[in-house]
Amino acid sequence: MSIVRSYKPTSPGIRSRKTLIHTEVTRDTPEKSLTVGLRKKAGRNNTGKIMVRHQGSGQRQLYRMIDFARQEDDVTGKVVEIEYDPNRSALIALIQYANGKRLYILLPDGLKIGDSIMSGESVEVRVGNNTKLGRMPLGTMIHNVELFPGRAARVARSAGASAQLLAKEAGWAQIRMPSGEIRRFSLDCRATVGQVGNLDHNKEVLGKAGNARHRGVRPSVRGVAMNPIDHPHGGGEGKSPVGHAGPLTPWGKPTLGYKTRKKKSQSDKYILKRIN
């Protein structure tokens, strides 16, 4: 359980700040064998071109290697530590397996120190266990879901996220995604039972720009504050309206509702119900 901490307004930056105190965290330093150095690229590709704007700087962090595949089948694991991970919104749990291995997993809501978990074909359907969708009863809340069998989990991995198994037919499972979209998955895809923990993550308020910079977020300038050469919204006398229909990106493409999904996307055939 997390406690939301408010501060006395001793400065403008701290007036609205709210932070989380994770009472369940039991360890400050990560498992050394499960960490690697994380080189930041500031949103640039291999040629140095900025592909994602507003990224850069930030506190240096070690990357914790998370076991998204959960392939230690039929081996009992025990939660020995719960840790904070600066690279994601969810907390992580250090698992000690009976075969001697130690691995990190995403901490599901309700899993505590000393609890046991297991992966495999015939495990009990309870929080923290990982198995194929075909082995789960309808209505099960899941997270850490594979998009394709054997390729490790890609869906529902952030704090508080969960999906729901709605139906099973002809080798396919119908799952309601965290967004509300309903999508087909193979029954051989694996998922973890339960909801990702740290449900209060959305209650955190940074309070000032400096706290965003520590997280690697650089400033964003409004288009209307720029010159016409820099942005389609720029220029004009005072706060003048734009001289074109609808808002545009810095590169002149329509935005705010403009559909960018490719018409020949291979995943379209798996989507049964879209969100508005």
Size (the chain), residues: 276
CA 134, CA 153: separation in Å to the nearest integer?
A: 16
CA 45, CA 42: separation in Å to the nearest integer?
A: 9
**pLDDT score of 125 more than 70:** yes
Give 3-state DSSP helix, strand, coil % of the chain, rounded to 5. 10, 30, 60
List, in order of start, the domains of the chain with CATH numbers.
Answer: 2-202+266-273 (2.40.50.140)
Q: Which two tokens stand for residue 194?
A: 């339960």
Confidence at residue 136, expressed as pLDDT on a 0 to 100 scale: 93
**pLDDT score of 156 more than 80:** yes
How many helices and strands, by DSSP H and E, does the chain display?
Answer: 2, 17
Contact 196, 143 (CB under 8 A): yes
**Span 42-64, pLDDT tens digits:** 999 999 999 999 999 999 999 99
Q: What is the mean pLDDT of the chain?
A: 91
**Span 192-235, pLDDT tens digits:** 999 999 999 999 999 999 999 999 999 999 998 999 999 999 88
**pLDDT score of 138 more than 70:** yes
